[in-house]
Structure 1
Amino acid sequence: MKPSIPKGTRDFSPTEVANRTYIINTIKSAFETFGFAPIETPSFENSSTLMGKYGEEGDRLIFKILNSGDFLKKAEDKLLSEKNSLKVTSQISEKALRYDLTVPFARYVVQHQNEITFPFKRYQIQPVWRADRPQKGRFREFFQCDADVVGSKSLCQEVEFIQLYDAVFTKLGLAGTTIKINNRKILSGIAEVIGASDKLIDFTVALDKLDKIGKDGVVKEMLSKEITEEAIEKVQPLFDFTGSNLDKLSSLENMLSTSEEGKKGVEELRFVINTIEELGLETTNLEVDVTLARGLNYYTGAIFEVAAPEGVKMGSIGGGGRYDDLTGIFGLKDVSGVGVSFGLDRIYLVLEELNLFKTVELPKPKVVFLNFDANTDIIKLKAIKELRENGVKSEFYPDLAESNKAQKRQWKYITNRAIEFVVSKVENDVFTLKNMSSGEQTNCTLVDLINTLKV
């Protein structure tokens, strides 16, 4: 049987790993410049921690882990005979792979609240898993690079996250990236004024799909969720909102004049927009998008989504928002938070498509000792030990060359890996060192060898 990997997962070559590391290091450097500290959480959590936090669609995409041993033993015969997977899951699976990094972070904050100094600024760069249908830019296993602040209600945090996005995408050379921003209070206000407050989640989930399924698709989905035609008619202007950010805010203000919640959302958004206008951004654009909803139930204020530069066909490469009581679900009330995520895998694809990766030098030894004479093996191995202790990356070619063909194989290895220096032989404790760039060959003692290669 031909070996394979599960759909939606990938192997990474040395070059791909180096390129991914370049992106991660760029994001990590920005996180630390903005004052965030790192944490890590387990790859899997108790199912009770994750389920019910992402809405119906999110729950469906969580990978459940079967209980150890005879996982069917505790399952009720009646449920097994009914073949109802939703009902039986809780009896055969108590753990699940994390769907994102935000809910595990909320659990972490509650569990470690007595050790944390608030406001707490954390970043986390780890893989997450979703039982989604694989397609370009959408994988079942992928990395998220998250930064969050909990314990502060200040809108200055939203401003900082926009600046953080700008700093990272500028550093990566992704000029023209667009940060879309909205506020869930505005969406709640719209649902209120059209008489659909009881359908808020259905309304926002459908609206969030506008760029994927179009206006007709959104209307169809809203109708299927029993949102009235009259309510949908009132929301039609949202589909064609135009003008500057301030123009859009003025239009929203008029539309939401009877909703205190909606007006509060406009006020918050206006503060963020005006502050960013004053501070300026280097290479990214900030755009008010009133159809942006982000389908996660825990958002309560500002919401962000990042679109790749124009011309690149890719879903969002980042997103996030404000959540006023996410920790409340774990028993810690009134701890407001806000955070954003960078989609490492999609950012990689965008950089690749735009040919923005710099040539990354893969890890390799500075010097390789060829293996033409078994009698000098111990001398070479001792020399390599000394070189490594002096910080020189060194390697010994393991297989003895017992023919001209085998010697050519070793030289081909040197060429393919672009090795800078080669020790071809040792005689009377004198090493023959060749500089592969210049072709210059010298004889030197071990001390000379170390001094030459340490430079």
Structure 2
Amino acid sequence: MAAKPSIPKGTRDFSPVEMAKRNYIFNTIRDVYHLYGFQQIETPSMEMLSTLMGKYGDEGDKLLFKIQNSGDYFSGITDEELLSRNAAKLASKFCEKGLRYDLTVPFARYVVMHRDEITFPFKRYQIQPVWRADRPQKGRYREFYQCDADVVGSDSLLNEVELMQIVDTVFSRFNIRVCIKINNRKILSGIAEIIGESDKIVDITVAIDKLDKIGLDNVNAELKDKGISDEAIAKLQPIILLSGTNAEKLATLKNVLSASEVGLKGVEESEFILNTLEAMGLKNEIELDLTLARGLNYYTGAIFEVKALDVQIGSITGGGRYDNLTGVFGMAGVSGVGISFGADRIFDVLNQLDLYPKEAVNGTELLFINFGEKEAAFSMGILAKVRAAGIRAEIFPDAAKMKKQMSYANAKNIPFVAIVGENEMNEGKVMLKNMETGEQNLVSAEELIAAVKK
């Protein structure tokens, strides 16, 4: 007996119903992106490892899926190197390519390669899968879709404001209540500066970004393990646990960071974004959260994260400002800011809260029953009119028993069934059955179209 096939952990198959739900998510996000003037691009699933490595910090580099070279990948490797069993070193020889970890670094590479064709500021969006060699768990997958929007070639904070409006609009359309969390890497740099640990900014941000997941004691332990002094850790406590309104937090930070020029710049940027959004009147809550660090090395300004309020799940959207990303590809001075919707987590949230609109997940609206060649030929003529009117319709391909065809309609949740027998053909009409109420009516093609559309 053949072994039962399986799929890799952290990946999933999606049924037709699930794909209808996913397309509702993608189409909603795409429509909002278009409202704000973003244009779509796509990049390859795999990039050169030289493009990806070193852009996500040490932790991110470990999670890159590397693609083994085709052909004789042992060529150029000595016996000594093979016997050393140094996995990282051998991988660098065996693998030149890797699956993309996110859409932002490939986008930066795209901007540099196509700079002569692009009009700046360039507003692009991208909806494609990404891969991470992470430990699979609830809400965390090895293959998942991101729905990114980025603006490059503009330093204006109005870009940050519009991205937060996009987030608010998307989740309002989904009817998901969220809290939009905002912080600024300059504020975090200022904090590191005033506690005397400027050179440990990456270690500090990576640690405090885990506060929600591992708790304060474990964050402090991690900070200590990274060589940060007890005195500096003590100074950090009241800052990362700061509470109050956004205005109160900003006022406190102005005092705390008064000796840090970069810190005050971060406060100023955050104040502009928050005040502008307050005047615009978002439907969802927005909160200045100093524990938000977004543990990726390329962020340099405002950073964002979105949490669902009615479901226990990780971040469902994130992003931020990155001033230096294209510089690593030889194109300096191009600032960018972007967001990424986690489509797979949004899918899980919508499922748990049962928030899909009925029309978004329904497939076929009308099924024609097949009684034989003559009846099928008659039905096909009406079917063409029905489809031309924009109704999703099909005919059962085989002249099977009525019970089997009706079971097919029930299994696919098809709301209407058209029955065409000899009597119906003689009158040039169709018997239309409402599968929910059981009601049946003899109708013309025009009346059938009106009834199904209604």
TM-score by length of 1: 0.91
Does the Cα contact within 8 Å between 2:363 and 2:392 map onto a contact in 1? no
Opposite residue 411 of structure 1, the aligned amino acid is: M
Q: Give 1:239 shift.
A: 3.4
Question: Which residue among 43, 47, 50 is the counterpart of 1:48?
Answer: 50
Aligned to 2:256: 255
Opposite residue 243 of structure 2, the aligned amino acid is: T
1:151-195 deviation line (CA, Å, top 9, x unaligned): 1001111111111111111111123x1111111111111111112
Opposite residue 421 of structure 2, the aligned amino acid is: K
- Quote the Cα distance in structure 2 between the aligned partners of 1:272 and 1:324: 17
The residue correspondences of 1:113-132 to structure 2 (distance < 5 A) are: 113-132=115-134
Q: Give 1:351 shift.
A: 2.2
- Quote the Cα distance in structure 1 between the aligned partners of 2:76 and 2:369: 61
Aligned to 1:81: 83
Which range is displaced more, 70-79 or 236-245?
A: 70-79
Identity fraction in percent: 54
Aligned to 1:364: 364
Q: Give 1:397 shift.
A: 2.3
RMSD over aligned CA atoms reads: 2.2
Does the Cα contact within 8 Å between 1:421 and 1:433 map onto a contact in 2? no
Aligned to 1:409: 404
The residue correspondences of 1:30-429 to structure 2 (distance < 5 A) are: 30-175=32-177, 177-282=178-283, 284-309=284-309, 311-359=310-358, 360-364=360-364, 366-370=366-370, 372-374=371-373, 393-401=392-400, 406-416=401-411, 417-418=413-414, 420-425=416-421
Where in structure 2 are there 5+ consecutive unaligned residues? none
SS at match of 2:394: strand
Does the Cα contact within 8 Å between 2:200 and 2:228 map onto a contact in 1? yes
Aligned CA distance change for structure 1 residues 279 and 10 (closer, same or farther; 3 Å): same
Aligned CA distance change for structure 1 residues 232 and 31 (closer, same or farther; 3 Å): same
Does the Cα contact within 8 Å between 2:372 and 2:399 map onto a contact in 1? yes
SS at match of 2:18: helix
Q: Give 1:75 shift.
A: 3.2
- Quote the Cα distance in structure 2 between the aligned partners of 1:159 and 1:361: 32
- Quote the Cα distance in structure 1 between the aligned partners of 2:375 and 2:169: 54
- Quote the Cα distance in structure 2 between the aligned partners of 1:322 and 1:9: 30
- Quote the Cα distance in structure 2 between the aligned partners of 1:393 and 1:170: 28
How many corresponding residue pairs? 441
Does the Cα contact within 8 Å between 1:423 and 1:432 map onto a contact in 2? no
Q: Give 1:249 shift.
A: 1.4
- Quote the Cα distance in structure 1 between the aligned partners of 2:228 and 2:364: 61
Q: Give 1:42 shift.
A: 1.1
Which range is displaced more, 337-346 or 377-386?
A: 377-386
SS at match of 1:127: strand
Aligned CA distance change for structure 1 residues 380 and 126 (closer, same or farther; 3 Å): same
Q: Give 1:393 shift.
A: 4.4
SS at match of 1:180: strand
Does the Cα contact within 8 Å between 1:74 and 1:92 map onto a contact in 2? no
Q: Give 1:35 shift.
A: 1.2
1:266-288 deviation line (CA, Å, top 9, x unaligned): 11111112222222212x11111
Aligned CA distance change for structure 1 residues 392 and 220 (closer, same or farther; 3 Å): closer
Moved over 6 A (4+): none
Q: Give 1:353 shift.
A: 2.1
Does the Cα contact within 8 Å between 1:189 and 1:263 map onto a contact in 2? yes
Does the Cα contact within 8 Å between 1:107 and 1:330 map onto a contact in 2? yes
SS at match of 1:94: strand
SS at match of 1:328: helix
Does the Cα contact within 8 Å between 1:368 and 1:419 map onto a contact in 2? no
Opposite residue 111 of structure 1, the aligned amino acid is: M
1:306-362 deviation line (CA, Å, top 9, x unaligned): 1111x4211111110000121111111100000111111112222222232222442
Opposite residue 356 of structure 1, the aligned amino acid is: L
Q: Give 1:415 shift.
A: 3.8
Opposite residue 229 of structure 2, the aligned amino acid is: T
Does the Cα contact within 8 Å between 1:392 and 1:453 map onto a contact in 2? no
Aligned to 2:6: 4
SS at match of 2:224: helix
